[in-house]
Structure 1
Amino acid sequence: MSASTHWLATGSAQAVLERGGNAFDAAVAAGFVLHVVEPHLNGPGGDLTGIFATAGNPGEPVVLMGQGPAPAAATREHYLAEGLDLVPGAGGLAAPVPAAVDAWLLLLRDHGTWELADVLAFAVDYARNGHPVLGRVGATIEAVAELFTDHWPTSAAQWMPEGRPPREGETIRNETYAAVLDRLVAAGSGNATRAGRIDAARREWREGFVARAAADFLSTPHRHSSGTDHAAVITPGDFAAFSAGYEPAVTFEFRGCTIAKTGAWGQGPALLQTLAILAGFEDERLDPSTELGAHTILEAQKLAIADREAYYGDADVPLDFLLSEDYAAARRTLITDTASGEFRPGTVPGHSPFVPPLRTEYRPPADGGREFAGVGEPTVAPTGETRGDTCHIDVADQWGNMVSVTPSGGWLQSSPTIPELGFCLGSRLQMTWLEEGAPSTLTPGKRPRTTLTPTLVLRDGQPVAALGSPGGDQQDQWQLLYLLRTIVGGYTPQQAIDAPALHTTSIPGSFWPRTWTPGGAVVEDRLGEDVIAGLEARGHVVTRAGDWALGRLSAVTRAPGTGLLQAAANPRGMQGYAAGR
Structure 2
Amino acid sequence: MAPQAATTAAYRDLGVEAVPGTGHLAAVVPGTFGAWMHLLGRYGTKPLAELAGYAVGYARHGHPTLPRVTSTIEAVSHVFREHWTSSAGVYLAGGAAPAPGSRLRNPDLADTLERLGREAAAAGDDVAAQAEAARAAFYAGFVADAVDAFARTPQWDGAGPDGERAAHRSFLTGADMAAWRASEEATASLTFGGVEVHKPGLWSQGPVLLQQLALLEAAGVGDLAPSNPRWIHLVIEASKLAMADREAWFGDSLEAGDPRAVAVADLLAPDYVRSRAALIGERALEGLLPGSPRGLEPRLPEHVRRAMGESDGAWPRGLGEVRPGEGEPTVARGDTCHLDVVDRWGNVVSATPSGGWLQSSPVVPGLGFSLPTRGQMFWLEEGHPASLRPGARPRTTLSPGLLRGADGRVTAFGTPGGDQQDQWTVPFLVRHLLHGASLQAAIDAPSWHSTHAPSSFSPRGAEPMGVVVESRLGSGALAELRARGHRVEELGPWTLGRISAAGVRADGLLEAAANPRGMQGYAVGR
TM-score (norm 1): 0.83
**Paired residues of 1:278 and 1:286 also in contact (CA < 8 A):** no
The aligned residue for residue 57 of structure 1 is none
Which residue of 176, 187, 192 corresponds with 1:254?
Answer: 192
Change (3 A) 1:286 1:440: farther
CA gap of 1:444–1:288, structure 2 versus 1, over 3 A, is: farther
- Measured in 2, the distance between the counterparts of 1:136 and 1:297 equals 30
Counterpart in the other structure of 1:222: 155
How much has 1:434 moved relative to structure 2?
Answer: 0.8
Asked if 2 retains the 8 angstrom alpha-carbon contact of 1:363 and 1:371, the reply is no
CA distance in 2, matches of 1:136, 1:449: 27
1:459 to 405, 414, 428: 405
Once the two structures are superposed, residues 41-66 of structure 1 have per-residue CA deviations (whole angstroms, 9 ceiling, x without a partner) of xxxxxxxxxxxxxxxxxxxxxxxxxx
| SS in structure 2 of the partner of residue 71 of structure 1 | coil
Q: Does 1:196 align with 2:155?
A: no
Superposed, which structure 2 residues align to 1:64-79 within 5 Å?
69-79=1-11
AA matched with 1:140 = T
Deviation at residue 187 of structure 1 after TM alignment: 1.6
- Residue 307 of structure 1 aligns to which amino acid in structure 2? D
Kindly provide the amino acid, as one letter, of the partner of residue 224 in structure 1.
D
Q: Which residue is 1:5 aligned to?
A: none
- Are the aligned partners of 2:44 and 2:127 in contact in 1 as well (CA < 8 Å)? no
Q: Structure 1, residues 197-228: CA drift from partner, whole Å, max 9, x if none?
A: 22111001001111111121122222115342
**1:334-374 Cα shifts (integer Å, max 9, x gaps):** 0000001211111123644221333414465xx7xx899x9
RMSD value over aligned CA atoms?
1.9
Q: Give how far 1:321 is off.
A: 1.4
2:56 alignment partner in structure 1: 124
In structure 2, distance between residues paired with 1:271 and 1:461: 23
Aligned residue in 1 for 2:257: none
Determine if contact 1:249/1:262 at 8 Å carries over to the other structure: yes
SS at match of 1:252: strand
Question: 1:337 maps to which residue?
Answer: 282
Cα distance change on mapping 1:258 and 1:363 into 2, 3 Å = closer
Which residue number corresponds to residue 23 of structure 2? 91
Residue 207, structure 1, aligned to residue 140, structure 2: yes
Residues 462-520 of structure 1: per-residue CA shift (max 9 Å, x gap): 34321110000000101111100101121111111111110111111100000111111
Note the 1:496-575 alignment, pairs <5 A. 496-560=442-506, 562-575=507-520
Identity of aligned residues (%): 47
Deviation digits for residues 420-469 of structure 1 (CA, Å, limit 9, x no counterpart) = 10111011011111122210001111000111001100110634321110
Q: Quote how far apart the aligned CAs of 1:175 are.
A: 1.0
Q: Is the 8 A contact 2:21 2:327 kept in 1?
A: no
* Cα distance change, pair 173–107 in 1 and its aligned pair in 2 (3 A): same
Partner of 2:243: 305
Name which of structure 1's ranges 179-188 and 477-486 shifts more when overlaid on structure 2: 179-188
One-letter identity of the residue aligned with 2:145: R
Q: Which residue does the alignment assign to 2:311? A: none
Structure 1 unaligned segments of length 5 or more: list them: 1-68, 381-386
Closer, same or farther in 2 for the Cα pair 1:413/1:377, shift >3 Å? closer
Q: Secondary structure at the match of 1:522?
A: strand
Q: Deviations over 1:153-204 (max 9, x none)?
A: 1111110101111112111211111111111122233323321122111001
Q: Which string of whole-angstrom CA distances, capped at 9 and with x for unpartnered residues, describes residues 370-415 of structure 1? A: 899x9754477xxxxxx86411111111111111111101011121
- CA–CA distance in structure 2, aligned partners of residues 106 and 284 of structure 1: 40
- How far residue 304 of structure 1 moved from its aligned partner, in angstroms, is 0.9
CA contact (8 A) 1:394 1:403 kept: yes
Is the contact made by 2:221 and 2:234 (CA closer than 8 Å) also made in structure 1?
Answer: no
Match of 2:215 in 1: 277
Please say if residues 354 and 439 of structure 1, whose CA atoms lie closer than 8 Å, have aligned partners that are also in contact: no
1:175 to 67, 83, 107: 107
In 1, the alpha carbon distance for the partners of 2:410 and 2:263 equals 28
225-234 vs 491-500, which deviates more? 225-234
Q: How many residues align?
A: 501
Instruction: Work out which of the residue numbers 425, 437, 441 in structure 2 matches 1:491.
Output: 437
Distance 1:153 1:286, change over 3 A: farther
1:395 corresponding residue in structure 2:
341
> What CA distance in whole angstroms lies between the structure 2 residues aligned with 1:557 and 1:159?
37
Mapping for residues 16-165 of structure 1, pairs under 5 Å? 69-165=1-97
Whole-Å Cα distance in 1 between the matches of residues 192 and 224 of structure 2? 12
Q: Is the 8 A contact 1:94 1:429 kept in 2?
A: yes
Partner of 1:301, secondary structure, is helix
CA shift for structure 1 position 131: 1.6
CA positional deviation for 1:243: 0.4
SS at match of 1:425: coil
CA distance, structure 2, for counterparts of residue 133 and residue 401 of structure 1: 32
Partners of 1:337 and 1:490 in 2: how far apart?
27
Change (3 A) 1:446 1:463: farther
Deviation at 1:565, TM superposition (A): 1.8
One-letter code of the match for 1:122?
Y
1:472 to 408, 414, 418: 418
CA distance in 2, matches of 1:503, 1:267: 15
Contact 2:151–2:173 (CA under 8 A) maintained in structure 1 = no
Q: Distance in 1 between matches of 2:244 and 2:370?
A: 32
Q: Is residue 522 of structure 2 the alignment partner of residue 577 of structure 1?
A: yes
In 2, Cα distance between equivalents of 1:379 and 1:295: 22
Paired residues of 2:317 and 2:463 also in contact (CA < 8 A): no
Matches within 5 A, 1:361-372: 361-362=317-318, 364=320
Please list, as runs of the form range in 1=range in 2, the aligned pairs for 1:342-381 lying within 5 A after superposition: 342-349=287-294, 351-356=296-301, 357-358=303-304, 359=307, 360-362=316-318, 364=320, 376-378=328-330
Match of 1:293 in 2: 231
Provide the rounded CA distance (Å) in 2 between the counterparts of 1:460 and 1:76: 47
Of the candidates 323, 326, 337, which is equivalent to residue 268 of structure 2?
A: 323
Instruction: Please say if residues 389 and 472 of structure 1, whose CA atoms lie closer than 8 Å, have aligned partners that are also in contact.
Output: no
Provide Cα deviations, 1:104-144, integer angstroms capped at 9, x if missing partner: 01101111111111111111111112222212211110111
CA distance in 2, matches of 1:556, 1:300: 27
- 1:61-91 Cα shifts (integer Å, max 9, x gaps): xxxxxxxx10001111111222222110011
Greater shift, 317-326 or 457-466, is seen at 457-466
Whichever structure has more strand as a proportion of its residues is 1
Aligned AA for 1:538?
R
Q: Name 2:312's counterpart in structure 1.
A: none
The 1:221–1:566 alpha-carbon spacing in structure 2 relative to 1, beyond 3 Å, is same
Superposed, which structure 2 residues align to 1:387-466 within 5 Å? 389-460=335-406, 462-466=408-412
SS at match of 1:87: coil
Contact 2:397/2:456 (<8 A) preserved: yes
Equivalent position SS for 2:513: strand
8 Å contact kept, 2:5–2:171 = yes
Q: Distance between the aligned counterparts of 2:515 and 2:388, measured in 1? A: 35
User: Secondary structure at the residue paired with 2:218?
Assistant: coil
Is 1:268–2:206 an aligned residue pair? yes
Contact 2:48–2:120 (8 Å) recurs in 1: no
How has the CA–CA distance of structure 1 residues 406 and 245 changed in structure 2, closer, same or farther, with 3 Å as cutoff? same
**1:244 to 1:516, Cα distance in 2 relative to 1, 3 A:** same
